[in-house]
Amino acid sequence: MNFLDEVPAIRRIETSRDDLFAIDVVGHVAAADGENLFGLLEAAYALHARIDVLVRLVDHDGVDWAHIVDETLKQGAIHALEHVGRCATIGEPDWIADAKRFLPPSPPIELRYFKIEDEAAAWQWLAAQPVGAIASGVAT
């Protein structure tokens, strides 16, 4: 398998809300996956001035932060502060504390962590449901 055959680590989840950006983060996130994520977020911001975000970590194996362009990271943080209202993370690791280091002391983003067994509560907190293939695996 070459790099063109690799499955992306960032995978969109279709939801019952147009203004909810939901993704699975599967395995290891390479720099290209990270750059792609920021592009997907920019597209969501273009469609909706305010969005909520749900990140489900599946067999998470780290992120190549050092290989993502610094300007992309800075702009990503700025734009998140401008556009994201709530962000739910599901699964291990709980990276909320790490995310807060990139944000001001009292960020306008409401961040909340949920254990994988509490996934239904995360969806409820965001007033949404997954639709399609993964919906059958989420207890509501």
Q: How confident is the model at residue 1 (pLDDT cuts 50, 70, 90)?
A: very low
CATH architecture of the domain 8-126 equals 2-Layer Sandwich (3.30)
Does residue 128 register a pLDDT over 70?
yes
Instruction: Give the strand pairing for 51-58 and 20-26.
Output: parallel
Residue-wise pLDDT tens digits, 77-100: 899 999 999 999 999 999 888 888
Residue-wise pLDDT tens digits, 19-44: 999 999 999 999 999 999 999 999 99
Residue boundaries of the structural domains of the chain = 8-126
Residue-wise pLDDT tens digits, 45-73: 999 999 999 999 999 898 888 888 889 88
| pLDDT in the model for residue 4 | 52
| pLDDT in the model for residue 133 | 59
CB 8 within 8 A of CB 36: yes
What is the spatial distance between Cα 132 and Cα 77, in angstroms, rounded to a whole number?
A: 30
Name the burial class of residue 103, with classes exposed (0-12), middle (13-18) and buried (19+) by CB atoms within 10 angstroms of its CB.
middle
Nearest to 40 by CA among 101, 99, 83: 83
| pLDDT in the model for residue 13 | 97
The single residue listed with the structure tokens 């067999």 is 59
Task: Name the pTM for this structure.
Answer: 0.87
